Structure 1
Amino acid sequence: MKHVIAVWQDHGFSLDPRPYLEELPRIRQHVPSGARDFACHPGHYDIPGATRCVKDLELSGIHLATDKSGSLVLEFAPNRWKHEEGLHIIYSGVRHFAVDHHRSIDWLLVDTVLLDEILPDGDGGCTHEIALTDASITVRCADLEARWCLTSGR
């Protein structure tokens, strides 16, 4: 990630969205509307807060279109100690999708979100990078829609 800090240090993660939050007012006009609404939501980086903060969501599904529509859906389950809702991110016009596994923290059962960052892409779309506890996800797309939703069993 370019601005957000989400790295393993010593015996824990060092997380700091402030450099990105300082940059966001300058770049927000260059980010597509759905991505902008998601990134600029006041609770997005409210780490101790439960409402609409991405920190600690658990990656629960990746759904790629089998046709050439360029759609992708990432599903995140709520952390039972923090969230009331899960999150589905629906990407349109996907031009690049990658999951890079770090495999350095083998004692965690699921990958959880540390933080994310959305930046404008040169062709009018955006790049969304999500740092997970043991992997990272990168999506280049035309836009995205974030849907918070109650999940079964909650």
Structure 2
Amino acid sequence: MRYVDLDGRVGDVTGVIDPQLYLAELSGFADRLPPGAREFATDPGHYAFRGRRCVKDLVPQGAVRSGDDGIEIRFRHNCWKHDEDLVIRYTGVTVFRADMPDAPDGTGAPDVLDVPGVRDLSDLGDVILDEVLPASDGGCTHEIGCRPGTLFVACRDLSAEWSPADCPELRVGSGLRWSGDDPGS
């Protein structure tokens, strides 16, 4: 990633996830992002680590082609943090890479633009963070860092949709609370 630091340092502590440089730069290039990408990247909850709509800790589930140049990626919630799943729909896709260094088939970086059906992405692991950048052709790129893999999409635009999670642990009366919940509410 260009701006998001997935292995930052604070004093003697290493391995700190730091989106601050990206967030500082985002204000300068947000107007060059396509509308859907801009809405997703600038959402106040996107990088709020304790928030329910932060992408951190989501789990990529699968990618499927839609039409001639579209791809849809589904992300499963983390029961301890999210109460919604996320679907990102990309249009005008020119590049899609799912880089899984330890892939059992040994491919490492398959490009699913040529693969019909659903591509399983669960081996990528939990999302660490992502970065949406403007592309020179007026579209955007979206890089998603995971443990241990990476997703990369170059497209005309994207749309993100959150939907209620189907998770027994989230059912009323389960006693679970999400990080960031106010214990007084």
Give the equivalent residue in structure 2 for 1:4: 4
Give the equivalent residue in structure 2 for 1:41: 43
1:113 to 127, 140, 143: 127
Where structure 1 has 5 or more consecutive residues not aligned to the other structure, the ranges are none
Note the C-alpha offset of 1:140: 0.2
Match for 2:71: what amino acid?
Answer: L
Match for 2:74: what amino acid?
Answer: E
Note the C-alpha offset of 1:49: 2.0
Note the C-alpha offset of 1:8: 8.8
Give the equivalent residue in structure 2 for 1:100: 99
Q: Tell me, yes or no, if structure 1 residue 130 matches structure 2 residue 144.
A: yes
Q: Tell me the C-alpha RMSD between the 2 structures.
A: 2.1
Q: Distance in 2 between matches of 1:101 and 1:17?
A: 23
Note the C-alpha offset of 1:86: 0.5
Give the equivalent residue in structure 2 for 1:146: 160
What TM-score do the two structures reach when normalised by structure 1? 0.87
Q: Distance in 1 between matches of 2:123 and 2:92?
A: 32
Where structure 2 has 5 or more consecutive residues not aligned to the other structure, the ranges are 103-121, 169-185
Q: Tell me, yes or no, if structure 1 residue 89 matches structure 2 residue 88.
A: yes
Contact 2:124/2:149 (8 A) holds in 1: no
Q: Distance in 2 between matches of 1:109 and 1:98?
A: 14
Match for 1:4: what amino acid?
Answer: V
2:29 to 27, 30, 46: 27
Identity %: 40
Q: Distance in 1 between matches of 2:149 and 2:14?
A: 15
* Other structure's SS at 1:3 match: coil
Q: Distance in 1 between matches of 2:15 and 2:62?
A: 24
* Other structure's SS at 1:102 match: coil
Q: 1:110 to 1:119 in 2, by over 3 A?
A: closer
